[in-house]
Amino acid sequence: MSKLLLLGDEAIAQAALDAGLSGVYAYPGTPSTEITEFIQHSKQAAEGNVHHIWATNEKTAMESAIGMSYAGKRALVCMKHVGLNVAADPFMNSAITGANGGLVVLVADDPSMHSSQDEQDSRFYAKFAMIPCFEPSNQQEAYDMTYDAFDFSEKYKIPVMLRVTTRLAHSRAGVERKTIRPQNEIRLHPNPKQFILLPGNARVYYKELLDKQTHFVAESETSTYNKLIDGPNKSLGIIASGIGYNYVKENFIDTPCPYPILKITQYPLPTEKIAQLLDECDAVLVAEEGYPIIEEQLRGLLNRTGNIKGRMDGTLPRTGELNPNHLAKALGIKEVHGPAIPEIVVGRPPALCFACPHIDSYNALNEAMAPYGKGKVFSDIGCYTLGALPPYNAIYSTVDMGASITMAKGAADSGLLPAVAVIGDSTFTHSGMTSLLDAVYENTPITVLILDNNTTGMTGGQDSHALGRIGNICKGLGVEEEHIRIIKPLKNQHEQNVQIISEEIAYQGVSVIIPTRECVQTLSRRMKAKKQHML
């Protein structure tokens, strides 16, 4: 079969389909979004009736995937790294229930925080839950490992994590496919009690999970994904995990690497292989994309041997993604640099699009808030987070999805008034609804602006579960009808919008303002599609 040119994300999606996937469950999040989008556009998926609709958030996605696995079918759940914090409860417990149909949890980490608020490393979660983890180093491995992960999951009745990082997720290369496997039929788990985690059962299955660990290590030991490549110079050994391996290899294109290399892309760690390398070599350099999780374990709390090098002793940078130059420096290889960046070059930060509805919302909000001084507007994650930058300087917090409303509540509780929250429509249904209920329950005096641009803009314009529902959701949660105000964020409505926002800020209870106008990007895409359709 000829090679397909695929992003790492697309390779994962294609592999899941070829492995007999029955459903993908996900909430968008860079750099994981393209996996689900690939399946949504795939003819193969449509023919196989593969579930592919976005979920409300990562927790609902994870739970739906567990449900599909319970029924005996193969399910994939995808999220960005911080999404796993949201899904952590079902994720941790799924390790104890185990899987029935193959269950693969894809987590895309974002070292260097290209589009994220932190660079947490999901391998910790795999270790925490005690489930196996695959960490592909290239697009072909992303395909192969996804394909294999479903078999692994069914062989050991365990969810399997696939961990990728931004670079691999968003880089394209040739990928060869395997044969297409049919989807599973519905079949229940041989032990139906497995999924009832009453303490009495949970203790039993937790013990089973512990017993499986030796098998997982044995698999890692013999896996072709973990290989020890010998080298004549034993003054140094290299452990390279995931795409860290590529950056080592990039430095040895013309000459073979003189040092032994242990490539690790399947976890739990292959202890015997590691022992062999440590025994043979005077020192070991650990190159991993993410937190120094392997390095920390090898050093131990006391770092007695002092011969483990990596991110913790400064041989490699402590933060951010790796690159070939970091490895060159660590290995003492001469680097070349092109000319320096001229001083006249300035930064070009991202900005709200021309005519974006959020611009008009912030202009009105800033004017309404002017009498109260700075520091009283809490916000959330989405395109509207750019309201933190000039010329708006309108918001003072961005912590995690949904936090705006509850942070405003906490601030109001403390007496910091008025307290205002700004949240996007998709973020509101993701995890703002329960926050609003907290405020309604206590009738906390906060004003919540739900910026309804009819889409999930930040991640590329996916459908928003909030579409056409926000007013009714707020009413249903108990916000008084006369304090649910819908406005149109447009320049020519500015005065009126300032007036309405000011009124609701003055109100001593929960009020919601819903500035409603479509994102200009999705609007122009829709218009283009319509025109094409009419031709």
Partner 1 sequence: MKIDIILAGVGGQGILSIASIIGYAAVKKGLYMKQAEVHGMSQRGGDVQSHFRLADYEISSDLIPLGKADLIISVEPMEALRYLPWLSADGWLITNNQPFVNIPNYPDEELIKKEIDNLPHSLMINADQIAKDLGSERSANMVILGAASPYLQMDFEALENAVSEVFAKKGDDVVALNLACLNAGRTYAMEQIR
Ligand X SMILES: Cc1ncc(C[n+]2csc(CCOP(=O)(O)OP(=O)(O)O)c2C)c(N)n1
List of residues contacting ligand X (CB under 6 A): 27-29, 58, 80, 82-83, 86, 381-384, 401, 424-427, 453, 455-459, 464
**Measured distance CA(455)–CA(448) in Å, rounded:** 18
How many chain residues bind partner 1 (CB under 8 A)? 50
Q: Which helix (H) or strand (E) holds 240?
A: strand 236-241
What DSSP element (H or E) covers 261? strand 261-264
CA dist 197 and 209 (Å) reads 13
Residue 270 in contact with residue 298, Cβ under 8 Å? no
401 closest CA partner among 125, 79, 104: 79
Q: Does 517 bind ligand SF4 (CB under 6 A)?
A: no
Which of residues 130, 312, 353, 486 is near partner 1 by CB under 8 A? 353
Binding site partner of 167, from partner 1, ligand X, ligand SF4, none, Cβ cut-off 5-8 A by kind: partner 1
Which of 423, 415, 414 lies closest to 377 in space, CA to CA? Answer: 423
Give the DSSP letter string of 128-167.
Answer: HHT--EE--SSHHHHHHHHHHHHHHHHHHT--EEEEEEHH
Q: Is 453 in the site for ligand SF4 (CB under 6 A)?
A: yes
Task: Let me know: does 107 contact 83? Beta carbons within 8 Å.
Answer: yes
Q: Choosing among ligand X, partner 1, ligand SF4, none, which partner's interface includes residue 520 (Cβ < 5 to 8 Å by kind)?
A: ligand SF4
Instruction: Give the count of beta carbons closer than 10 Å to the beta carbon of residue 349.
Output: 8
Min CB(457)–ligand SF4 separation in Å: 3
Taking the complex as a whole, the smallest distance from the CB of residue 433 to ligand X amounts, in Å, to: 13
Q: How far apart, in whole angstroms, are the C-alpha atoms of residue 354 and residue 521?
A: 10
Tokens found for residue 444: 């906390």
Query: Interface with partner 1 includes 5 (CB under 8 A)?
Result: yes
Amino acid at 343: E
114 binds, among ligand SF4, partner 1, ligand X, none (CB under 5 to 8 A by kind): partner 1
**Closest distance between partner 1 and the C-beta of residue 34, in Å?**
7
The yes or no reply on residue 339 touching partner 1 (CB under 8 A) is yes
Using CB under 6 A as the binding rule, whether residue 422 contacts ligand SF4 is answered as no
Stretch that binds partner 1, among 99-107, 175-183, 372-380, 454-462 (CB under 8 A): 454-462
Residues in contact with ligand SF4, shown as a per-residue x/- string from 372 to 401 under the rule CB under 6 A: -----------x------------------
Q: Does 519 bind ligand SF4 (CB under 6 A)?
A: yes
346 binding partner 1? (CB under 8 A) = yes
**Four-residue CA torsion sign, 259, 263, 264, 270:** negative
CB neighbourhood size of 218 (10 A): 13
Q: Using the rule CB under 6 A, is 229 a contact of ligand SF4?
A: no
Rounded-to-integer distance, Cα 460 and Cα 41, Å: 15
Distance (Å, rounded) from C-alpha 480 to C-alpha 421?
A: 17
d(CA 289, CA 310): 11
DSSP 462: B
User: In this chain, which of 353, 399, 417, 437 binds ligand SF4, going by CB under 6 A?
Assistant: 353
Q: Nearest residue to ligand X, using CB?
A: 424
Report the amino acid identity of residue 486.
Answer: I
Binds ligand SF4 (CB under 6 A): choice among 98, 231, 237, 457: 457
Q: Judged by CB under 8 A, which of 22, 33, 429, 454 binds partner 1?
A: 33
- Residue of 246, 266, 444, 522 interacting with partner 1 (CB under 8 A): 246
Stretch near ligand SF4 under the rule CB under 6 A, chosen from 31-39, 165-173, 320-328, 517-525: 517-525
Closest CA relative to residue 383, chosen from 452, 430, 469, 473: 452
The pairs formed by 89-93 with CB atoms below 8 angstroms and a separation of 24 or more are: 89/59, 90/59, 90/62, 90/63, 90/66, 91/62, 91/125, 91/129, 91/159, 92/128, 92/129, 93/197
- Chain-centre distance for alpha carbon 478: 32
Among 253, 301, 302, 534, binds partner 1 (CB under 8 A): 253
Q: Does 81 bind ligand SF4 (CB under 6 A)?
A: no
Contact at 8 Å (CB) between 322 and 247? yes
| Shortest distance, position 307 Cβ to partner 1, whole Å | 26
Q: Is 167 in the site for partner 1 (CB under 8 A)?
A: yes
450 binds ligand SF4 (CB under 6 A): no
425 binds, among ligand SF4, partner 1, ligand X, none (CB under 5 to 8 A by kind): ligand X
Q: Does residue 342 have a cis peptide bond before it, meaning omega lies within 30 degrees of 0?
A: no
The option from ligand X, ligand SF4, partner 1, none interacting with 495 (CB < 5 to 8 A, set by class) reads none
Footprint of partner 1 on 483-512 (CB under 8 A): none
Cβ closer to ligand SF4: 312 or 353? Answer: 353
Residue at token pair 């010329």: 391
Residue 464 interacts with, from ligand SF4, ligand X, partner 1, none (CB under 5-8 Å by kind): ligand X
Residue 516's SS3 state is strand
**Does position 399 bind partner 1 by CB under 8 A?**
no
By CB under 6 A, tell whether 86 contacts ligand SF4.
no
Q: Which of residues 252-291 bind ligand SF4 (CB under 6 A)?
A: none
Q: Residue 176 in contact with residue 6, Cβ under 8 Å? A: no
DSSP state, residue 51: B
Q: Is 324 among the residues that bind partner 1 (CB under 8 A)?
A: yes
Q: Is 335 in the site for partner 1 (CB under 8 A)?
A: yes
- Residues of the shown chain interacting with partner 1 in the complex, contacts defined by CB under 8 A: 3, 5, 7, 30-31, 33-34, 114-115, 167-168, 170-174, 243, 245-247, 249-250, 253, 323-325, 328, 335-342, 344-353, 383, 386, 458-460
- Residues of the shown chain interacting with ligand SF4 in the complex, contacts defined by CB under 6 A: 352-353, 356, 358, 383, 453, 457, 519-521
